[in-house]
Every structure is written in C-alpha cells, then in structure tokens.
Structure 1
Amino acid sequence: MEWFESWFDTPYYHLLYSNRDYTEAESFITALTSELQLPPGSRIIDLACGKGRHSVFLNKLGYDVLGLDLSRQSIEHNKQFENQTLLFDVHDMRNPIEADPMDAVFNLFTSFGYFESERDDKKVFKSVYDVLKPGGFFVLDYLNESFVKNSLVPESVVKRGDIDFKISKKIEGRYIIKDIRFETDGKPYHFFEKVKLHTPETILLYAEECGFERIKIWGDYQLNAFDSTNSPRCINLFRKKA
C-alpha cells in the first residue's frame, strides 16, 4: 500500500488539516468558474475530491459535479451529499475515467505529485484529457517548487484538540517529505507525505505531450499572476485543443 492510500483514509489526516479556510476556497472556486466563464449546468469533475467540500460548493453554484477520490472512507462520507447533479465515486486518478464528456476537470490543493514514476504522472494527464470535451478545461492547482524550497520550515508542532502533531519537513532529491508523528490514547503513530517537486516547465511538458495548451498560470488563490520566486501556488489552466 502506498503512503497516500493509508494516510488519506485515517481520521487523523482530516483532523490535521481541519483548519483549512473554507471561505478562501469558496472565493477561489467562485473566481475560477467566473474566469473560465462556465455556465450553470456545465459538467465538472472534482478529481481527488477528499471530503467533498469543493464538489458540494460547485454543485451549489449550479454545476453538474462528479467527485472522485481514492479514499473509500471519504467517498462513503460524501454519499450523504449526493443528488441528481452531484455524485461521488472511488477512483484512482491514474486510471481512465468512465463518464460522459466533461466541460472541466479540477485537481485542487496539491492533489498531484504523489507517484514515484513519471509514467504514472503522465497517466493522470491522459485520463483527464480523454474525459474532456474538445475545448474543455483542466485546472491543476499545484505547489510552486521554488517557493517551497525558499520557505521550508524544518520543524513544527500543530495542535488539534488533544493531539500534538510533530511535523518535520525536508527535501530529498525531487521530493518534499513531511514526517508526521503523534500519540493518542497512549499509542504512537507515524505517517508521512511525499510529494514530487514538479517544476512549472515539467508540468507544461506533461500537458503538451497529451495535447493540452496552457492558457494561464496563476500564483495564488486570488488569481494573481504567477511569479516563479514569490508565488505560493502554481495554478495551471489548460485547455484541450478543439
């Protein structure tokens, strides 16, 4: 089992990241859908949807949404939100997506870069490309590798309820590795995250190999222009060539 298959399916993963800013996320998605000029009723996949917060909000904006995630526990949780225009399913993003052609696919908040092989990275682009309509959009919201290297905090403690998450970060080769240790109910736990530091150039290369063109690249959730040194994010907007 790969690290993300076990870690993402634990309640501790969701607890650690429970402070995520819903207001910022909803503002980002509102701005993004406006920028893309996606009319209500457009079909969108939320790829690596987690607990479904973005899928639910997209659906409230009037979109027909399919949320996909590898975590069975997350998808089981999300089933309570389903309706005629909001569905969830378990899916590995490397595999072909069996769905009607989509207007857009969103992969948000660094939900890419988990895989060891370049071949698996490219499979993600291929699966997205194949499920999109001609002219459809692919939004890949990723970390900015230069910013990560310049702002790395090696050691920190994050308190959530009664649990102190002791976090250490380091860069090894092409990866940023986050080591997570904590105790609860007298039992020690150890997990880690390992995310590839893809450069914007590498991401563009993967996309173009599949047949995408990059329309824009933003540097933060306010959709400001990307700066390779100072931008915290690398938000890519690709379009499937018609």
Structure 2
Amino acid sequence: MAQSVWHEDEAFWDTFEGYVFAPEVIEKAPAQIDHLLSLLDLPDDGVVGDVPCGVGRHAVELADRGFRVTGVDATASYLSRASERARERGVSERTEFIHEDMRDVSRPNEFDAIINLYTSFGYFEDRADDERTARNFYDSLRPGGTLFMSLTSKETLAGKFEQRTWDERDGTYFLEEHEITDNWSWMENRWIVVTDEAVQEFTVSHRLYSAYELTTLLQRVGFEDVSVYGNLDGDPYDENAAHLVIVATK
C-alpha cells in the first residue's frame, strides 16, 4: 500500500496538534473573526463554510455570534475536538462538522461565505487539485457570496524566511527546517518533535502562491471581484504585508 502524503496522515496532525493549535493560537480566534467580519458583508443569520476547520476555533466562534457553520476537515480527531468545543459553547445546533477532503466538498449555492485560513491551501502536488478546490469554493457559494483566504505567500515569506526554527512547549521541542524549491513555487519542510520518550520526524510540503498567481487562479474558476490585503485589518498588500488576505466575491 502506498504511503499517504503528510496532509492525509492523521499521526502527523495528532502529533503536532499542541504546536499548530497552541493555546495562544486558539485565543486569537475571536479577534481574527472580528477582523474577518469587518471585511465581509454577511447577513446576521448567514451560512458559513470553514474549510478546513481544524479543531473548530473559528467555526465555533462564528456559531457563537449567530451564524450557521459547516466545518470540513480530513482529520477525524480534530473534528471531535471541534464538536466538543461547540457543545461546551452551547452552539451545537448551529454547527455541522464533516470528515472530508476539501477537494471533494461541493455544496452548490449553500454558503454566504467560505473561509480558508491559516495557510490551508496549496497542499497538493498536482496544481489541478488546487484549481478543483477553488472551483468547489466557487460552486458552493451563493450568488454574491464571498471566499475569504489568509495564507503565507511568496512575497510575505521572502521577507521573513528562516532556514531553521525551533520552539519549546512544556518540555517538548519542535524543530523545523525549511527549503524553497522549484523556482519559488514549492516549500519543503522537515518537522521534528522531541520528547523524553521519542523523536518523531515528518516531511511537510506545500505550494507557494504570489498574490497575482492566486488572484489569477480564483478568477479562472469564476470569481470576478477579487480584493487583496496585507493583513486581517485590511491594510494594503505591500512591502509591509504580514499575510496574503484574499476576499473574492461570486
């Protein structure tokens, strides 16, 4: 049996859950949703897709504000955390969590908005899979609906690239090595977690997009109005940009 790629490996996501979704990351969700909503024009009872939703930090926050939310993720354990979080916040009736690969999720004309955050686009080696995912986003939006994306781009990465980084959390060490390949179109990462019991290593890779390239892709699948920002505050996408933020309207 062929070995699954990193983003299909539940062991990877389970191992790095406490790193990727550290408490300080979870705590940022309310402020991030504040900024996101300031850039969107959503009805008070709007329907939102969170793809992928991870452990549900944004999905539950949106549901707590009255929206109906469908969270999609390929990691079953994360969906369990998301469902638990929704129950704890008392918003289970406004949330739905689906165990599915985002390449396969299409719900025609269902959502007022779809959010794709935390550099969760470009995992797939075949560019056609990225376009397929973007087309699913487009098809799943209602007319006038909006896609909101936030990710690290070529431009923002170039200004802060570090070949090696490390972090320590509660006695566990997380080490990363980064390499830009294929003429700045692909990022190869070596992620290592060191505990008293074991050392685990994973290879993590994803495509890098420039603002122009991602805008062009979204226009190709049907989005006509695509706006680009440099952060969640809606500041210009210039040399000071922290992230690539895309707001694309169907």
TM-score (norm 1): 0.91
Question: 1 CA distance for matches of 2:142 and 2:165?
Answer: 44
1:95, distance to aligned residue in structure 2 (A): 1.1
Instruction: Give 3-state SS (helix, strand or coil) of 1:134's partner.
Output: strand
1:234 aligns with 2:244: yes
1:146, distance to aligned residue in structure 2 (A): 1.6
1:149 aligns with 2:158: yes
1:187 alignment partner in structure 2: 198
What stretches of structure 2 of length at least 5 have no aligned partner? none
* Superposition CA RMSD, Å: 1.8
1:111, distance to aligned residue in structure 2 (A): 0.6
1:11 aligns with 2:21: no
Contact kept in structure 1, 2:12 and 2:202, CA below 8 Å:
no
Residues 27-53 of structure 1, C-alpha deviations (whole Å, 9 max, x = no match): 221122133121221000001100000
Change (3 A) 1:194 1:14: same
1:167-178 pair list within 5 angstroms: 167-173=176-182, 174-178=185-189
Change (3 A) 1:96 1:48: closer
1:84 aligns with 2:87: no
1:180, distance to aligned residue in structure 2 (A): 1.1
Equivalent position to 1:52, from 51, 56, 75: 56
1:68, distance to aligned residue in structure 2 (A): 0.5
Residues 50-104 of structure 1, C-alpha deviations (whole Å, 9 max, x = no match): 0000000011111010011111111122222252211111111111324761101
1:148, distance to aligned residue in structure 2 (A): 0.5
1:35 alignment partner in structure 2: 39
Contact kept in structure 2, 1:204 and 1:214, CA below 8 Å:
no
Contact kept in structure 1, 2:60 and 2:95, CA below 8 Å:
yes
Question: Greater share of strand residues, 1 or 2?
Answer: 1
The letter of the residue matching 1:116 is E
2:225 alignment partner in structure 1: 214
The letter of the residue matching 1:11 is D
Change (3 A) 1:221 1:32: same
TM-score (norm 2): 0.89
What stretches of structure 1 of length at least 5 have no aligned partner? none
Once the two structures are overlaid, the 10-residue window that deviates more, 40-49 or 216-225, is: 216-225
Contact kept in structure 1, 2:29 and 2:61, CA below 8 Å:
no
Instruction: Give 3-state SS (helix, strand or coil) of 2:43's partner.
Output: coil
Question: 1 CA distance for matches of 2:113 and 2:214?
Answer: 18
1:216, distance to aligned residue in structure 2 (A): 1.9
The letter of the residue matching 2:213 is T
Contact kept in structure 2, 1:47 and 1:93, CA below 8 Å:
yes
Q: State how many pairs are aligned.
A: 239
The letter of the residue matching 2:140 is V
Contact kept in structure 2, 1:168 and 1:179, CA below 8 Å:
yes
Equivalent position to 1:130, from 134, 139, 164: 139
Contact kept in structure 2, 1:176 and 1:195, CA below 8 Å:
yes
